[in-house]
Amino acid sequence: MAFIKTKGFLAVPLIIAVVMFADYFIAVKEVASLAGILRTWALVISSMALGLGVVNLVRVHGKNIYVRKPGMWIFSTVTLFTFTVVFLAGVLAKQSDLWNWPFQHVYTTLQQTMYAATGFYIVSSAYRAFRARNVDATLLLISGCVVALRNAPIGEAIWGGFSVLGDWFMDVGQLPGYRVFAMVTGFGIIAYSLRVILGSERGFYGGRRE
Amino acid sequence: MSKVFSKLEDIDRRYYYWAIFLILAVPFIKPLGMPISIKQSTRDLYKGVDQVEPGEVVLIDWHMSVSTWPECLDGLVAELKVLTSHDVKIVITSISVDCEMSWNKVNQLVPALRDKYEYGKDIVFLGYYAGGEPTNQQMAIDVWSVFPTDHFKTPIAELPLMAEARTANDYAIVLTTGENEIVWVNQWWTPYGVPVGVMGIAMKGSALQPYYNSGDIFGLAVGVRGGAEFELLIGEPAGAVTRMDSISLSHLSVVILIIIANTGVLYNKLTGGKK
């Protein structure tokens, strides 16, 4: 038992990695079947994570209400009340008006309002942040304005060059940066995965890093 | 004079919030009807969707909650209009918990889904799935193992369409809406060669461009503009085309505000005023 606790669990990611690699590179029916089981486990585990999220939600907000945390407990009460109503509606009255009403008349409108409101904050932040304080900032704001006008039909109506210049900024200016970012991320994932597989990444197990 | 420029540099946000609100209202009262040019990436998406043969199966994945409707729904509806006009069979999955709302909405907006398509035979709504990329990988091998039932709890074996749409090789193309595109490229395009088309959110346009340029995504339309371009391509201008006027005015307003703010900055710099 002690061995499993200290060393044995380190083999779990290694075994999974070997199976998944073998499934990808070698066409063996038994390995494919095992890999399929592991992928289904991943699906089950992530579904369990949703349940864990519910437990955590109740625990954190329940504690806020219990200790009457200033400035928080009222919101926590609303959260838990909403959760309870929607949960019960889902369990007891799926496909009924009781289930659909909160979604159609509360959730939808709140989501769309929140999303629309971000437009105003973007305007505000653009107004405050885009200042030509030095050469770099000036270049950033010029390219930002050109790309904004390139994306809107009114830009092309004002001057056809906005489209050409905007495309140049996008294709020549930002695309190589994104490619580099994507490739570096890929290498980073490989490096991290190797550390996990080899048991060097202890944070993965909830412990300390070596 | 310097006071005026200093004020320009720091206008109370309430004023421009009102200005933006009023400016955005204009096109809804009187549409401007600005011409919209169509990008090659949207043409390629349309071409890919248009080329699917009758009877072939298309998988559509929604990473689209109701908050994303203004950006992606019109483009999705336009795609569905093309697919239904070709009698293409459709399987829908989603990683958004409110996908049922989107399902109800597209059924309202695409008449052929109600009038022409028979549920289970021509279209299936599999609903929400958890698990991220491993789930997409498993779906490529066996959709049934991930979805034992559809969204309405009908056993998958009782849906005739799913008998012919069980593995990645059974699908002609994958269309994604919102986000979650790259997992389909990784798990369906690279190993199985199922082409992936994207109707994404505007914010992801830059990140997806390299995948389009490399051919990993056969077509790409992002944001309201992508939807508007697609609507124009199918010859049915609708919600997205209407919204493009607001996009035009909002973008222009932002640029004007930036110019106003920088007039103050420039004046103060030239006169050695506030830093």
Is the pLDDT confidence value at B19 over 90? no
pLDDT, tens digit (0-9, with 9 covering 90-100), for B228-252? 999 999 999 888 998 888 888 888 8
Query: Do A42 and A29 reside in the same domain of the chain?
Result: yes
Residue B175: which of B100, B241, B94 has the closest Cα? B94
List of chain A residues whose C-beta atoms are within 8 Å of the C-beta of residue B191: 24
Mutate to test the interface with B, among A121, A130, A149 (most CBs of B within 10 A): A130
Query: Do A110 and A138 reside in the same domain of the chain?
Result: no
Mutate to test the interface with B, among A48, A143, A154, A165 (most CBs of B within 10 A): A154
pLDDT class of B112 with cuts at 50, 70, 90: very high
Question: Cβ A120–B67 below 8 Å, yes or no?
Answer: no
Residue A172 burial by Cβ neighbours in a 10 Å radius (0-12, 13-18, 19+): exposed
Nearest chain B CA: its distance from A106 CA (Å): 11
For the segment B33-54, the average pLDDT, to the nearest whole number, is: 92
pLDDT at A210: 45
Query: Do A42 and A7 reside in the same domain of the chain?
Result: yes
Q: Percent of chain B scored above 70 by pLDDT?
A: 98
Q: What is the DSSP string of B103-123?
A: HHHHHHH-HHHHHTPPBTTTE
Q: Which helix (H) or strand (E) holds B183?
A: helix B181-184
Nearest chain B CA: its distance from A1 CA (Å): 30
Strand B57-62 and strand B89-94: the pairing is: parallel
Query: Do A160 and A78 reside in the same domain of the chain?
Result: no
CB atoms closer than 10 angstroms to residue A145: 22
Query: Do A57 and A134 reside in the same domain of the chain?
Result: no
Point out the least confidently predicted range of A169-178, B113-122, B195-204. A169-178
Q: What is the DSSP string of B143-174?
A: HHHH-SB-TT--BGGG-HHHHT-SSGGGEEEE
Number of domains in chain A: 3
CB proximity B203 to A under 8 Å: no
* Inter-CA distances, A105 with A94, A144, A201, B202, Å: 16, 37, 46, 26
pLDDT at A207: 57
Chain B's closest residue to A116, CA to CA, is B67
Is the pLDDT confidence value at B221 over 70? yes
Question: Cβ A154–B69 below 8 Å, yes or no?
Answer: no
pLDDT class of B123 with cuts at 50, 70, 90: very high
Q: Which residues pair with B178 in a beta bridge?
A: B200
One-letter amino acid for residue A141 of the chain: L
Question: Cβ B66–A112 below 8 Å, yes or no?
Answer: yes
Residues of A (22-51) whose Cβ lies below 8 Å from B: 24, 32, 36, 38-40, 42-43, 45-47, 49-50
CB proximity B103 to A under 8 Å: no
Does the reported pTM lie above 0.80? yes
Q: For B29, phi and psi rounded to 5 degrees?
A: -85, -45
Query: Do A1 and A87 reside in the same domain of the chain?
Result: yes
Query: A154 lies in which domain range?
Result: 130-210
CB proximity A192 to B under 8 Å: no
Query: Do A67 and A146 reside in the same domain of the chain?
Result: no
Query: Do A1 and A70 reside in the same domain of the chain?
Result: yes
Is the pLDDT confidence value at B20 over 70? yes
CB proximity B40 to A under 8 Å: no
The ipTM value here is 0.78
Query: Which of B20, B210, B247 is opposite residue A152, by nearest beta carbon?
Result: B247
Query: Do A39 and A17 reside in the same domain of the chain?
Result: yes
pLDDT at A208: 54
One-letter amino acid for residue B19 of the chain: A
Query: Do A73 and A135 reside in the same domain of the chain?
Result: no
The beta strand positions in B137-274, using DSSP E, are 171-178, 196-200, 219-222
pLDDT at B159: 95
Of the two residues B16 and B49, the one the predictor is more confident about is: B49
Structure tokens at B211: 């995948």
C-alpha A30/C-alpha A111 separation (Å) is 46
Report helix, strand or coil for A146.
Answer: helix
Residues of B (108-127) whose Cβ lies below 8 Å from A: none
Domain boundary among A73, A92, A111: A92
* Residues of chain A where predicted confidence (pLDDT) is lower than 70: 1-2, 4-6, 94-95, 204-210
Query: Do A185 and A170 reside in the same domain of the chain?
Result: yes
Question: Cβ A103–B98 below 8 Å, yes or no?
Answer: yes
C-alpha B86/C-alpha B84 separation (Å) is 5
Domains of chain B (ranges; CATH) run 2-30+245-260 (no CATH), 40-242 (3.40.50)
Question: Cβ B16–A178 below 8 Å, yes or no?
Answer: no
Query: Do A160 and A117 reside in the same domain of the chain?
Result: no
Is the pLDDT confidence value at B225 over 50? yes
For the segment B181-201, the average pLDDT, to the nearest whole number, is: 93
pLDDT at A1: 67
Question: Cβ B130–A127 below 8 Å, yes or no?
Answer: no
Question: Cβ A127–B16 below 8 Å, yes or no?
Answer: yes
